[in-house]
Structure 1
Amino acid sequence: MTATRFGLAAVPLMLLAACAIPRIEPEGLEGIDDGLLPEPNARLAIESLGPCSDVPDRQFSINTGEPVTVLVHGCYGSAGRLRSLSQVYAFHGQQSVCFSYDDRDSLEVSSRQLMTALEALGEAMDDDVAVNVLAHSQGGLVARRAVIEDRPDGLTLSRVPNDLVTVATPFAGIPAASACGSRLTHVLSLGITVGICRYISGDKWWEITAASDFIQQPGAPLPELERHLKVVTDERDTCRVKDDRGRCISRDGVFGVAEQYHPPVDRFPVVSNVQVEAGHVEIVGDARRPPVKLIEILQVEGLLAPTPPDRQAAFEALLARLYGP
């Protein structure tokens, strides 16, 4: 009975550990400088892909002869959560679109939807044009699953992304969800914990635990994938919100470093890790702070164009407008 009570008490922690704190989108972003985006030559309607906003019309315009980055949100996310980051890409003349999915679905289902979207996008793009993927938090689990060999469903991509960037992703599973990964706890609770876990996290409830095959057997990346850049966030001592006296009233720590490193993922030569001290939401930007650390990493790694010196002041003004209080 003690184990049962422990399991029932521990399960609700999953909701905090498995998902990033929702980001509040700033308002009034219409008309912001789109930078040097190439002139679009096509308007596409691809299921699960669309502009990085929450507008009902999910069609998007694109230049099929220029590189594009697909942005993938995390738990509690949406395309609109990544609107400001998309504007950062636009300022530097780079196209981006957003993948939308139900974060309560099975990760296998969501990754299959991403594969379908990437296939359709790849067919529309010119053959020699780079298609990259940048995914945050749980979105990184979805994105990596979309680019592996020997998937359980047997599916594969014919047009593999050039670069995969995952940011603050718990590849080793979530320790706080251990009660949901314990078959003993499920037995002792007469199956009650299974229902609670599914109620809290949806159909992905088992996949995000360290005991799942999804975590223990993540699969090998497709050989055509050129690079998997992992941005590992050290979220200790981070703060998302402070009160008027400077005291932290809401932490920005969701995943530990140990949850983001995982030998079955890291052992492949295509993988490189960049560790940075940053909060879980801070790394992709929130309503108070721009994602300066992520921008720097992307520029150093050649995934985001350098900011021209003569446009630095304009870029800082854009960041202030996008991410300012």
Structure 2
Amino acid sequence: MRNFAAVMAIAALGFMTGCATPPPGEPPLMTIDSSRLPPANISLTIPGLSQCTDSGDHTLKLNAQQPVTVLVHGCFSSAGRYRGMAQVLAFHGQQTVCFSYNDRDSLVVSAGQLDTALNQLSQKLDNKHITVMGHSQGALIARKAMSVSKSAAIEGGDVTMRLVTVSGPFGGIAAARHCGNPLWRTLSLGLVAPICQIVTGDKWSEITYTSPFIVEPGALDPRVKDFLKIVTDEGGSCRRMSNGACVESDAIFSLAEQRNPAVDRDPLVNIVEVKAGHVEIVGNNRTGPVKLITVLQEHGVIKPTEPDRREKFGQLLTRLFGEAAQ
């Protein structure tokens, strides 16, 4: 029994690799340059939605006649971590908001909260085209919120939605395989479940490869008109310091963890594979999300950069993400 406890302790520690730890030393990101955004004509507060900054200001100032992109972060993250991507969209005249949630909650609970927030947002918009983009665990939450099992709260046939997921572990998290294994549950005399819950919270039973959440993801709501699924080949990737030194591996989810036939066979899905690390793809203060921006522009999620503004866009990326951003 002592050997089993040791094995479970190691498994529990390995489980933590299911989330990317936030890069150290990131400055607080408090503001977004809105000079190229359409003038705001509504101001509202919706639980779970906020500006994509760390300012703590949850008041949304939007133009009701323009579409909105909702960004959904992964675990160990925050709305402010996506201030850079929000600024990239703002540079192209596109408005964004960020959805925040407790990453230890059940994914179904978080998806329900996002679903409710999207409903309230759509009711305030005249242009009811909403793009929802989720990274990592946020990808799982975003897709569940837009499936038929959760989207009944999104009212109105005039709502049209686009789903974009990035590096989502739709096949289940390999590090959690012990939590979903019936044999381990038996051998552990019931200890597996509480250990898994201590490590990851209430989502523990949903992220295993055998969970109904993974095996039966549900069909997308008919109001979802397009699904862009970006998978990342993270093998050999590394998070680096400004001098190029490797800090730690940036390989969080394998391609197998990101694949799921029940998700991938959807007729709406367009799968794009990118060679990039898990954090690299969305950017940090040392690496710009150039590869992600390229894919999003190729598929119309971000508008093309005007030729006479490409130099300024490059300067913006450098300011937001560092010298190696471009």
TM-score between both structures, scaled by the size of structure 1? 0.93
The one-character-per-residue Cα deviations of 1:204-254 (angstroms, maximum 9, x if unpaired) are 01100101100011001112210111000000111112595x553311100
Residue 184 of structure 1: how far off its partner (Å) = 2.1
Q: What residue in structure 1 maps to residue 247 of structure 2?
A: 249
Is the aligned partner of 1:14 residue 2:15? yes
Mapped to 1, the partners of 2:116 and 2:132 lie a distance apart of: 14
* Structure 1 residues 32 and 226: CA distance shift in structure 2, 3 A: closer
* Structure 1 residues 243 and 157: CA distance shift in structure 2, 3 A: closer
Q: What residue in structure 2 maps to residue 216 of structure 1?
A: 215
Pairs aligned (count): 320
Whether the 8 Å contact between 2:172 and 2:257 is mirrored in structure 1 is: yes
* Structure 1 residues 115 and 52: CA distance shift in structure 2, 3 A: same
Whether the 8 Å contact between 2:241 and 2:286 is mirrored in structure 1 is: no
The residue matched to 2:281 in structure 1 has which SS? helix
User: Match for 1:55: what amino acid?
Assistant: S
The residue matched to 2:271 in structure 1 has which SS? strand
Corresponding residue to 1:303 among 301, 304, 307: 301
Residue 15 of structure 1: how far off its partner (Å) = 0.9
Residue 185 of structure 1: how far off its partner (Å) = 1.3
Q: What residue in structure 2 maps to residue 157 of structure 1?
A: 154
Whether the 8 Å contact between 2:239 and 2:280 is mirrored in structure 1 is: yes
Q: What residue in structure 1 maps to residue 74 of structure 2?
A: 74
Query: Tell me, which stretches of 5 or more residues in structure 1 are unaligned?
Result: none
The residue matched to 2:208 in structure 1 has which SS? coil
Mapped to 2, the partners of 1:217 and 1:48 lie a distance apart of: 26
Mapped to 2, the partners of 1:317 and 1:12 lie a distance apart of: 41
Whether the 8 Å contact between 1:24 and 1:286 is mirrored in structure 2 is: no
Mapped to 1, the partners of 2:31 and 2:204 lie a distance apart of: 41
Q: What residue in structure 2 maps to residue 236 of structure 1?
A: 235
Question: After the TM superposition, which residues 1-325 of structure 1 pair with which residues of structure 2 at under 5 Å, given as runs?
Answer: 1=1, 5-16=6-17, 18-24=18-24, 26-27=26-27, 33-126=33-126, 128-151=127-150, 155-159=152-156, 161-241=160-240, 248-324=246-322
Deviates more, 1:250-259 or 1:5-14: 5-14
Residue 23 of structure 1: how far off its partner (Å) = 3.6
Residue 24 of structure 1: how far off its partner (Å) = 4.8
* Structure 1 residues 11 and 170: CA distance shift in structure 2, 3 A: same
The one-character-per-residue Cα deviations of 1:177-223 (angstroms, maximum 9, x if unpaired) are 11111222122222222221111100001100101100011001112
Whether the 8 Å contact between 2:29 and 2:55 is mirrored in structure 1 is: no
* Structure 1 residues 184 and 31: CA distance shift in structure 2, 3 A: closer
TM-score between both structures, scaled by the size of structure 2? 0.92
The one-character-per-residue Cα deviations of 1:67-92 (angstroms, maximum 9, x if unpaired) are 11000000101111111111111111
* Structure 1 residues 161 and 55: CA distance shift in structure 2, 3 A: farther
The residue matched to 1:134 in structure 2 has which SS? strand
* Structure 1 residues 243 and 47: CA distance shift in structure 2, 3 A: closer
The residue matched to 1:273 in structure 2 has which SS? strand
Residue 26 of structure 1: how far off its partner (Å) = 4.3
Residue 28 of structure 1: how far off its partner (Å) = 7.0
CA RMSD of aligned residues (A): 2.0
Whether the 8 Å contact between 1:298 and 1:304 is mirrored in structure 2 is: yes
Whether the 8 Å contact between 1:11 and 1:193 is mirrored in structure 2 is: no
User: Match for 1:221: what amino acid?
Assistant: L
* Structure 1 residues 29 and 182: CA distance shift in structure 2, 3 A: closer
The one-character-per-residue Cα deviations of 1:298-324 (angstroms, maximum 9, x if unpaired) are 100011011111111111111111111
Mapped to 2, the partners of 1:285 and 1:259 lie a distance apart of: 21
Whether the 8 Å contact between 1:169 and 1:232 is mirrored in structure 2 is: yes
Mapped to 2, the partners of 1:321 and 1:292 lie a distance apart of: 14
The residue matched to 1:204 in structure 2 has which SS? coil
The one-character-per-residue Cα deviations of 1:152-193 (angstroms, maximum 9, x if unpaired) are xx9442255521000000000011111111222122222222
User: Match for 2:216: what amino acid?
Assistant: Q
Mapped to 2, the partners of 1:108 and 1:223 lie a distance apart of: 20
Mapped to 2, the partners of 1:145 and 1:32 lie a distance apart of: 29
Mapped to 1, the partners of 2:139 and 2:125 lie a distance apart of: 23
Query: Tell me, which stretches of 5 or more residues in structure 2 are unaligned?
Result: none
